Each structure stands twice: as structure tokens, then as C-alpha cells.
Amino acid sequence: MALSTPLSQMSVALPTGIDGSTRSMIKSQSFTEKSWGPRLRLDSKSRSFSVKKRSTVCMSLQQASKSKVLVTPLELEDPKETPLNLYRPKEPYTATIVSVERIVGPKAPGETCHIVIDHDGNVPYWEGQSYGVIPPGENPKKPGAPHNVRLYSIASTRYGDSFDGKTASLCVRRAIYYDPETGKEDPSKAGVCSNFLCNAKPGDKVKITGPSGKVMLLPEDDQKATHIMIATGTGVAPYRGYLRRMFMENVPNFKFDGLAWLFLGVANSDSLLYDEEFSGYLKDYPKNFRYDKALSREEKNKTGGKMYVQDKIEEYSDEIFKLLDNGAHIYFCGLKGMMPGIQDTLKRVAEERGESWEQKLTQLRKNKQWHVEVY
């Protein structure tokens, strides 16, 4: 189903059959404690799910609601092993595009899209993992061979945006190239995979690999833990999955009662990603969620320069360091160029506190509190 409702609205689809071939659209639906998700049973040998007939709820990009969605595919909660590389580049899985939705405003530099992919339950994943995407066409550097795999962090929980374990969402910025001399766009140098995904239409096929990655998995053994999440741009993708799991879904085995603190750095207000969802969590769960934005083209830091995410970290550095000392997890996701500035800031703050940043970083890594995925 294509997600065509505005970001601020909620759409609910109630399929009459398991395949969802006949649907009725309802604008407002209150969620109760009854289960809206289908029961799924994972068959590890066939890499597929069997589904018991049940009504399902589909929600597009929307604000959070304190009345959570109860999800019930319990087998996804207690698998024996982390799902890893179920499909590889030589034998990818052919999934289907459900929807492509632009999620930035007109004044945002560039275009970012939220892309929902139907994998029919055959490529299960955990929050914080990535899918590989193989765009159609021939690799220009290897005639006759397919394109290389491009990795994208998954921006949904294991249940997907439809809460049935059958979809995954990606947050993709369209990569374009401008000739420095003419200032004009050069389509011949545009990002092959990002443009394929952003141009895709519902029903188009997409070859995916994975899931991959363990570094960004959300530790759930302590449901009162603190999670400090730092992102630039589309690096917010895994955190959207974390936060939906914490605050949107009623997961039987995971009742989050800790602190989730998100720092998001983007160019301007129109560039904010999933802002309505995050603002909804802030309203409904003020004791469990904090949300700080760094808008480089709209805000100034304390020295009068552009406000970057490391400036926000420095602003709250004393509190952040105390939380880390008490066992908080800290995550970094986004462009590789974000890390030097952040590392410099953390080092300077540590030295001001009379600490060795090198020793502290070594301890954070040893304690598995330090999680980094940059590209």
C-alpha cells in the first residue's frame, strides 16, 4: 500500500484477508489493548514466516500516541541468534517497493525520502541493522557484472511500519552532483542507488541483501538504561527504529523505562527528519525522552559560528559525561566527517574535567557503551 497521507495524519488499513487484497481506509482509529498485529512464526530453514489470519494495522509516518500499538509476533522477540546475512550479493532477495515519500520541506538542501520495502517476512532484522541494496543495471567498472551493494541503515523496528514483520523502511538522501564550474547538476555523476530508490514507484522490485551489522544493535537487557543518540542527517535512521520500539509499540517483552536522548544535526528546520514523530514522543514521554536539534544554517553556537551537533554535545557535556560514568550507551550515526569534530569536543571536555579522553574512550569500548556507524 502506498503511503499517501500527510505526515501529520494517521492512516489505518484493515485488510479483510491475509494478503490485504481488500482494504478499507479509516482516518481515525484509537488503539486499545487488543492485538492488531498478525501472529508470525519464523521458519529458520525456509527463511519465511507463516501468518495466522488476523486484522492488521498500517500506520504511515505519524506522531506518537500514548496508546501504543500491541505487536504480537513473539518469535521475533526471542530468536536464538541475531539475523545476519540471510541473503548475500550473489543471491539477493527480490523485495517490492511499497511507497516512496519525500520527508523534507521545500527549503531543505537536497531531497530525503522514506522508502517502505515489502520483504514478506523473509528478511527479518533487528533495530540498528542495515540492508544492502543492489541497484539495477551494469557496474561500469566491471562490464557484465551487477552494481556493488550499497548499505542503508534500517529506519523501522523489526515489525516494520505496518507492525506485521513484513516490511522495512529506509531513509535515503538523493545523491546529486553539481559541476563546480557551471553550478549545474550533472546527472551522469548522480548517486546510482539513492536515485534509483528515490525514483522508485510502488510495485517496483528491489534486490536486497543482509541484514548486516551488530555494532548498532539496541541493548535491551537493562530496560532502565540511558541511550544517548547522536545523528547527522539520515544517520537518524536507526534511532527512529529504537524510538518506535520504545514509545510507539507495545512490545510484550520490552517495557522501556529508561532515558532516550536524541541529538539531531541538520541544515535547517525543513531538513528535520521524522520531527513529528519525535515531537510526539517528547510530549507523551517527557520523563523518558529528550530531543535536541542543531540547525547549522539557522542557529549560532556560543562563539557565533554555525551550530553543529558537537556544539550541542558540548552544551550538555557535563550531564552527558555523568550519564556515561553511570553506564549510559552512546551512539553515533551519520557522515564520517561528523566524528572528528565530535571527538575533539569530547576530548576537550574530558581534559577540562581533568580526565584522559583516551582512557575514558578505551573504557567505554570495553564496557560496550560506545557504538559508531559512519559512512
Per-residue pLDDT of the chain (375 residues; tens, 9 = 90+): 333 333 333 333 333 332 333 332 223 333 333 222 333 333 333 333 333 333 334 444 544 446 799 887 778 887 778 999 999 999 999 999 999 999 999 999 999 999 999 999 999 999 999 999 999 998 988 988 999 999 999 999 999 999 999 999 999 999 887 767 767 766 667 789 999 999 999 999 999 999 999 999 999 999 999 999 999 999 999 999 999 999 999 988 889 999 999 999 999 999 999 999 999 999 999 999 999 999 999 999 999 999 999 999 999 999 999 999 999 999 999 988 889 999 999 999 999 999 999 999 999 999 999 999 998
Q: Is the CB of residue 182 less than 8 Å from the CB of residue 162?
A: no
Rounded Cα distance, 267 and 152, in Å: 21
Hey, is 61 helix, strand or coil?
coil
Structure confidence at residue 7 (pLDDT): 37
Residue 279 has phi, psi (to 5 degrees) of: -65, -35
Structure confidence at residue 78 (pLDDT): 78
Structure confidence at residue 181 (pLDDT): 74
Cβ neighbors of 255 (< 8 A, separation 6 or more) are 223
Alpha-helix runs per DSSP H in the chain = 192-199, 237-243, 275-284, 309-315, 317-325, 338-352, 357-366
Structure confidence at residue 101 (pLDDT): 97
What pTM did the predictor assign?
0.81
User: Which residues have a catalytic role annotated?
Assistant: 152-153, 333, 373, 375
- DSSP letter for each residue of 105-130: -TTSSS-EEEEEEE-TTSS---TT-E
Q: In whole angstroms, how far apart are CA 353 and each of 130, 312, 325, 343, 356?
A: 37, 18, 13, 15, 9
Instruction: Give the burial string for 261-274 (b: 16+ CB within 10 Å, else e).
Output: bbbbbbbbbbbbbb
Q: 277, 203, 233: which is closest to 374 by C-alpha?
A: 233
Q: 115, 159, 164: which is closest to 3 by C-alpha?
A: 115
Structure confidence at residue 349 (pLDDT): 92
Structure confidence at residue 42 (pLDDT): 37
Q: Tell me how long the chain is.
A: 375
Rounded Cα distance, 333 and 236, in Å: 7
Structure confidence at residue 66 (pLDDT): 65
Rounded Cα distance, 109 and 86, in Å: 36
